[in-house]
Amino acid sequence: MLLPQINNPEQLKSLSIEELATLAEEIRRFLVEKLSVTGGHLASNLGVVELTLALHYCYDSPRDKMIFDVGHQAYVHKILTGRQDRFDSLRKNGGLCGFVKRTESEHDVWEAGHSSTSLSAAMGMAMARDMKGEDNKVIAVIGDGALTGGMAFEALNHIGHEKRKLMVILNDNEMSIAPNVGAMHNYLSKIRSDRHYLRAKDEVEGLLKKIPAIGGKLAKTAERVKDSLKYMMVPGVLFEELGFTYLGPVDGHDLEKVIDAFHQADNVAGPVLVHVLTTKGKGYKPAEADSYKWHGISPYKIESGQVLQAVGNPMYTDVFGQTLIELGHQDKRLVAVTPAMPGGSGLFPFAKEFPDRMIDVGIAEQHAATLCAALAMEGMKPVYAVYSTFMQRAYDQIVHDICRHNANVIFAIDRAGFVGADGETHQGVYDIAFMRHIPNIVLMMPKDENELRHMMKTALDYNDGPIAYRYPRINGTGVALDSELKSLPIGTWERTRPGDDYAVLACGPMVQVAEEAADQLKREGIQLGVVNARFLKPLDGQMLLELANAGTGMVVLEEASQAGSLGSAVLEYYSEHEIYDARVHLMGVPDVFIEHGSIKEQRQQTGLTAEALCARIKAMRAKSNFNYKTTSFS
Active site residues: 280, 365, 393
What letter does residue 300 receive in the DSSP assignment? B
Amino acid 525 reads G
Cβ–Cβ < 8 Å for 46, 280: yes
Contacts 24+ apart (CB under 8 A), 628-632: 628/581, 628/583, 629/580, 629/581, 630/580, 630/581, 631/571, 631/574, 631/575, 631/580, 631/581, 631/582, 631/583, 631/584, 632/583, 632/584, 632/585
Cβ–Cβ < 8 Å for 111, 328: no
Cβ–Cβ < 8 Å for 369, 393: no
Closest CA to 423 of 414, 415, 413: 415
Cβ–Cβ < 8 Å for 435, 468: yes
Report d(CA 85, CA 100) in Å as an integer: 16
Write the CB contacts of 135 (distance below 8 Å, at least 6 apart in sequence). Answer: 129
Report d(CA 552, CA 584) in Å as an integer: 9
Report d(CA 283, CA 280) in Å as an integer: 9
Q: How many CB atoms lie within 10 A of CB 370?
A: 18
Work out the burial of residue 206: count CB atoms within 10 Å of its CB; fewer than 13 is exposed, 13-18 middle, 19 or more buried. Answer: exposed
Q: Is the dihedral of CA 535, 537, 541, 542 positive or negative?
A: negative
